[in-house]
Amino acid sequence: MTAYAPEFVPALLIILSVCLPLLLASALLMPAWRSAVIRVSPLASLPGLLCSLAVPNGSMIDVPWLLLKSRFGLDEAASALLFSTALIWWVAGVSARQTARRDSLDTQFFAFFLLAMSGNFGLVLAQDALSFYLFFALMSLATYGLIVHRRDEGALWAGRVYICLVVFGEVALFAAMVMLPGTVDSPDLVLDGKTSDLAIALVLVAFGVKAGLLPVHVSLPLIYRAGPTSAGIALAGAMLNAGLLGWLRFLPLGQEQLMGWGEICLLAGLFAAFYGVAVGLTQRNPRVLLAYSSISQMGLMIIIISAGFISPDTWPLAQAAVLVYAAHHSLAKGALFYGIGLSEQGTTAGHRLWKFGLLLPALSLGGLPLTSGAVAKMALKSTVHTFPPGLQIWLEFLLPLAAVATTLLMIRYLSLVWSHDRQPEQKSSIPWSWIVMLLTMTLFIWFWPLADGSASASLEPGMLWNALWPVVLAASMWRALHGFGWNRVMEVPAGDLLVPVVRIWHRLLDLVPKFRAPDYTTAPRTLRRGLRRLDPLWDKLEQGMADWIFVGISYLALVLVLFILFM
């Protein structure tokens, strides 16, 4: 292993990115410091932002005593995602401060907020498997506090679904990690040796929970809806990418051709891209709509990832593409979410700048020429060119349709948000953080070396046209749909698949014959219902084992049984 000796300032920035939010979170323990900490909490992401701008790629610090030897630093993937992550957390922090109610729940909220932020930075900067796992777990668990913040029924239900999926993801990740090839004592991120199919499946599912992979996407719509706007911005903008980064880190991408996995990812991605839009279009709540849009966009990113299995030789190119796409999506999604929050607060009521400002991220997701979306679409397209011709033909046909679908969904979003816009009661104003966000979102792609190739390619006349027509088509289709009275179409309940699954589960529990029902209070409700029915048996078993005679008999029996087994 090469030893790295980074200079003082980069090292300090890397450490502060992770530790400053942690320090601020622990400062909340002091009642006297609470209001001050809440005031400065958006700045907690500042070291991360500086880190992404000033620290060169390849800066690493080794922390030999941490966990089983940790390493933090920036490689291509980390530095690509760090910028958008830091910006999103800053905006989320500003939004959280705007809506703070200055009560005791606020302290709890900001504690979880800062912990989740630290987890997010930590996992982006982690360069070894266990550190990644550590910060991923920190972020996942802390996010629970953000989701249930409102404590209403919807929030608690969303929290329940979320935490179940988090535990599911955690154990899948644990199992995957012990199966991945590598040394136990200092697990590296560099996978050498063959990864088993089971491990690949587990990695896909474990991070799919975060990244909205079908069918473990069900918590996404619920949690986007349940939390405050700030939580939504962070979830949609930054934390979604944690799942993506997990795939990039742990899947054996670009190593050898695994056609089977490539095709599975490709199909899953394509399906998700259209499924997300289809379900999203029926939604009345713009937050839920954005969740489905995320599921759909993530599908497109999975298509790029499948290139790592299908054409491993050109994987570096595809990885750059997926990073560009992820950064673009995260900023656009964050801006769209922030837009909803601003309209709910009423500060921007009737403001023209707000209305037209929303057009920017919405159309950018659709891939309008000159936006970051057009560049991201270009990157996607260039990846598809590395696929075998048989697949290419299909994708050339389907991807523009996906762009049309996405644009349709965004128009639907705009119509929902705009129609909720109230008449101004007082003089409305636009927070400057929103403007900064929009400007960055529009401009960053043109100054980003990683996106250079795609950016210039997207400006060629042919490409401009390719990017333009889906948007125009979608806009005209929307007019038609609207004429049909789209609003009357049935709304698919948020969490789609979850609804029948929960219903079947309860049915199944009802089939178990009923017994006396004592008051169990620790187990989760559904599990409890099942166990309650087995209770008398359960009790009898325990009582029996405490019986004195049982002691004698069990010794004899056990000696016999073990003896037979040992033979």
SS3 for 128?
A: strand
> Residue 133 or 207: which CB sits closer to other proteins?
133
184 contacts other proteins (rule: CB under 8 A): yes
> Residue 313 or 519: which CB sits closer to other proteins?
519
Task: Work out how close the CB of 489 gets to other proteins at its nearest, in angstroms, rounded to a whole number.
Answer: 36
Token representation of residue 91: 């905006």
Place of tokens 């701008």: 53
Pattern 108-127, other proteins, x by CB under 8 A: x-------------------
d(CA 561, CA 112): 51
Task: Work out how close the CB of 86 gets to other proteins at its nearest, in angstroms, rounded to a whole number.
Answer: 23
Quick one: which of 65, 397, 432, 447 contacts other proteins (CB under 8 A)? 65
Dihedral pair phi/psi, residue 30, rounded to 5°: -85, 115
12 contacts other proteins (rule: CB under 8 A): no
User: Residues 6 or more apart from 92 whose CB is under 8 A from it?
Assistant: 42, 113, 230, 231, 233, 234, 237, 238, 334
Task: Work out how close the CB of 550 gets to other proteins at its nearest, in angstroms, rounded to a whole number.
Answer: 8
d(CA 71, CA 371): 36
Task: Work out how close the CB of 174 gets to other proteins at its nearest, in angstroms, rounded to a whole number.
Answer: 7
Quick one: which of 12, 50, 67, 401 contacts other proteins (CB under 8 A)? 67
Pattern 496-535, other proteins, x by CB under 8 A: -----------------------xxxxxx--xx--xx--x
d(CA 79, CA 72): 12
Pattern 299-338, other proteins, x by CB under 8 A: ----------------------------------------
Task: Work out how close the CB of 20 gets to other proteins at its nearest, in angstroms, rounded to a whole number.
Answer: 18
Pattern 537-556, other proteins, x by CB under 8 A: -x---x--xx-x-xxx-xx-
Window 124-163: residues binding other proteins (CB under 8 A): 130, 133-134, 137, 141, 145, 148, 151, 159, 163
- Choose among 278, 298, 297, 280: nearest CA to 289: 280
- Cα separation values, 174 from 25, 46, 169, 200, 222, Å: 27, 32, 8, 13, 25
> Residue 313 or 542: which CB sits closer to other proteins?
542
SS3 for 427?
A: coil
189 contacts other proteins (rule: CB under 8 A): no
Task: Work out how close the CB of 137 gets to other proteins at its nearest, in angstroms, rounded to a whole number.
Answer: 5
Window 372-391: residues binding other proteins (CB under 8 A): none
d(CA 253, CA 324): 17
DSSP state of 567: -
Window 87-106: residues binding other proteins (CB under 8 A): 104
Residue 108 CA from chain centroid, whole number: 22
Give the DSSP per-residue string, 192-250: -SPPPHHHHHHHHHHHHHHHT-TTTTTHHHHHHHHS-HHHHHHIIIIIHHHHHHHHHHH
d(CA 96, CA 230): 5
Quick one: which of 12, 69, 344, 415 contacts other proteins (CB under 8 A)? 69
Question: Where does this chain bind other proteins (CB under 8 A)?
Answer: 64-69, 104, 108, 130, 133-134, 137, 141, 145, 148, 151, 159, 163, 167-168, 170-171, 174-175, 178-179, 184, 186, 519-524, 527-528, 531-532, 535, 538, 542, 545-546, 548, 550-552, 554-555, 558-559, 562-563, 565-567
